[in-house]
Structure 1
Amino acid sequence: AALLWVGGLGALLVTARDADVRTVAVPRFSRLALAAVVVLGVTGLLAATARLTSPTDLVTTAYGAVVLTKVVLLACAAALGGATRARLRAGRLPVLVWAAVEVLVLVAATGVAATLTHTA
């Protein structure tokens, strides 16, 4: 799901200057990105509940702290994605800075996700 989100964002940015492509691509990518966010959220929730015994573990364990960090990063990336989408739909270019920040946040979230595999 994360790969689809980042890869789709890159493809969208490459084609964003063409208004016709933007008209077709932005709504399609928005649905894909939303699906990716939902999949990442659900799978992350399932993984977290498998390791955390209670909600207090989110603030009392290293694993919980990493989970919370990932949640915040994914929420920020989703918010940036929404802002980028709004700018593209309005024809407000460039959006490269917005999208670049979104990609950086997603890279950080990926790093945090990798940390989750080593935090018990």
Structure 2
Amino acid sequence: IAAAAGWWGATSLVAAWLDLADRAGTSPLALRSADLAVGLTTGLAQLVCFGGAVTVLVWSFRPFAPTVVVAVIAAVGVLAVATTGHAATGTWAPLLVGVHALAAAWWAGTLAALAMTVRGRSGWAAALPEFSRYALVAVCVLAATGTIAAVDRLGVGAQWLGSGYGRVVLAKIVVLMLVLGMAAAHRRRWVPSAARHRTAAEVSLRRAVAETALLALALGLAAGLASTGPG
């Protein structure tokens, strides 16, 4: 959990820095103190996201609150960024994008946590089937909300190929299809095999890392949608 929270915090800081440079119309290496001051007022979403990551990181070393409370704080951090920007404009878009982001964050975060903490065949035999049951729900939510949000934003027509936003959405869809295909194959073969202690721990780790890497790519494309206009 600490490693995942640390990675989340680091990436949120980098994202905030790049977003601030974009707002200031300058290079990330050329930001001035005045730009940073403006960023504190206009980049509230990134600060909330970073705060969520720091909270989880501190809690992983010294649990100071119930797990549910920390989970809610983490969810607020995810939603703060997901429901701002171009991707979340419109009547239903903030709700759809928010639920979509939470499902993706749970899937990627939990799988990454498994890869970093589970050891041995017995560990995977216990953890993987439990994860798989909830992952199926996350996959359905992810696919449904992503599709509805994209169609709501772009409609049906040339916007999908004729705009930068549409092309990023298409790239994200392609990556998600690859992830879903991999996840389906894993559910059919890897999960039953691991549950019966027939898959080596090293193999389970490689598969978890591969799926997490594809999810990270999809999340990166999703982050790009927040700063890409639909026109």
TM-score (norm 1): 0.80
2:108 matches 1:6: yes
1:39–1:84 Cα change, 3 Å = same
| Residue range with higher mean Cα deviation, 51-60 or 98-107 | 51-60
State the structure with more CA Rg: 2
Instruction: State the distance in 2 between where 1:45 and 1:7 align.
Output: 22
* Contact 1:26-1:88 within 8 A present in 2 as well: yes
* 5+ residue gaps, structure 2: 1-102
Cα offset, 1:24, TM superposition: 4.4
Summarize the alignment of residues 31-42 of structure 1 with structure 2, pairs less than 5 Å apart. Answer: 31-42=133-144
- 1:15 partner amino acid: V
Alignment of 1:41-52 (within 5 A): 41-52=143-154
- Partner in structure 2 of residue 110 of structure 1: 219
d(CA) in 2 for partners of 1:36, 1:108:
17
State, as a whole percentage, how many aligned pairs show the same letter: 37
Superposed counterparts of 1:76-95, under 5 Å: 76-85=178-187, 86-90=189-193, 91-93=198-200, 94-95=203-204
Residue identity matched to 2:151: T
* 1:80–1:98 contact (8 Å) kept in structure 2: no
**Bigger CA drift: 54-63 or 1-10?**
54-63
Output the aligned Cα RMSD. 2.2
Structure 1 residues 88, 37: CA separation in 2 closer, same or farther (over 3 Å shift)? closer
Structure 1 position 12, deviation (Å): 3.5
Can you list the C-alpha shifts for 1:71-114, whole angstroms capped at 9, x where unaligned? 11112222223344422421222222222121111111111001
Partner of 2:209: 100
Letter in 2 for 1:95: S
Bigger shift: residues 84-93 or 103-112: 84-93
CA distance in structure 2 between the aligned counterparts of 1:16 and 1:49, rounded to whole angstroms: 42
